[in-house]
Amino acid sequence: MNMIDRTSPAEQRWLLLIHQLPSKPAYFRVKIWRRLQRIGAVAVKSTVYALPANAETQEDFEWLLKEILEGGGEAMVCEARLIDGLSDAQVHALFDAARDEDYEAIANEARTLSARLEATRTAEEKAELRSQLGRLRKRLADVTAIDFFGATSRLSAESLIVELESRLAEDMEMGKEVPEMRPLTAADLKERVWITRKGVHVDRIACSWLIRRFIDPDAVIRFVPGKGYIPNAGEIRFDMFEGEITHEGDRCSFEVLLARAGITDPALQAIAEIVHDIDLKDAKFGREETTGIASLIAGICAAQPQDEQRIVHGGPVFDNLHQYFRAKRG
């Protein structure tokens, strides 16, 4: 019989709100559901909601507990460690899926505002767009506050909003010149330590493959938490918020890395279009190979919990895809 290590410092602790609400009034049930959404809780069972355990989330659940009891319901809050049936990784995925949905809604609204900006002519229309963009920025901040594990889609939503803010700012200050970022050279990218978020998926797997296959075969890639990492000298962050190479506007990190590294291989550009559509879920390029590659990457991520192993297993997928596009072009 295997013994469970109960002293592991890496174990995840969870707060669980177990509750039962009265059938009437209906608005009370809706009110509690909305409160659960606002604090970022996810349902692990129909009447059991989870949050990662810390002082702030405990206070959120305690206020909600009080509200449920005062409304005639029953509730309890407990701290738990998952042992069997549902893994920490599966619960992390529930949180990421919920936040990805929020971020994708924000990204879609940002794209709508961007299209409207193209057709905007009057000062009044632009002022209204700035107001709407301000509200969208506030929505993004609210979602970020409950993004406990760094969901992938944040980068896309953030970059779209930043791009819109820049366009509106340029419109207000036409005479102000924005300094152009110096292009990276091959020397800039050699012998560097590359940093990205834990829990890699298609964009980070593809970037890692590109780095080791075309930029620096001996590159060291490290995986860190999505929030709060302070880079050391010689490190390049990719596909991370405020990273040196990350989403820019409506481009994924793989697209940005190709451009910044000055790589113009048409086969890699085709791969970039596939990575873009899987990562941003906007069907911008609509390549026929996208669905199959998405399934392969999803399978690798499901089977390989370790980030380095995901990159190792993802490499041959992109190697073969690269050869396919080269042969197809030839």
pLDDT tens track for 196-241:
999 899 999 999 999 999 999 999 999 998 777 889 988 999 998 8
Helices 202-210 and 290-303: angle between axes, nearest 10 degrees: 90
Q: Is 149 helix (H, G, I), strand (E, B) or coil?
A: coil
- The residue behind tokens 């000298």 is 233
pLDDT above 90 (res 20): yes
Q: Please give the single-letter amino acid code of residue 244.
A: E
In this predicted structure, what is the pLDDT of residue 328? 86
What is the pTM (predicted TM-score) of this model? 0.69
CA atoms within 13 A on the CB side of 19: 27
In this predicted structure, what is the pLDDT of residue 314? 97
In this predicted structure, what is the pLDDT of residue 234? 87
N-to-C CA span, the chain: 58
In this predicted structure, what is the pLDDT of residue 280? 84
pLDDT above 80 (res 145): yes
Q: Tell me the mean pLDDT in the region 273-299.
A: 92
Rounded distance between C-alpha atoms, residue 15 and residue 63, angstroms: 14
Looking at the DSSP assignment, which residues form a beta bridge with residue 45? Answer: 48
| Token representation of residue 152 | 């992938």
Rounded distance between C-alpha atoms, residue 39 and residue 178, angstroms: 39
Q: Tell me the mean pLDDT in the region 121-137.
A: 88
Residue 330: pLDDT band by 50, 70, 90 thresholds?
low
Q: Tell me the mean pLDDT in the region 19-36.
A: 93
- The residue behind tokens 């909003």 is 161
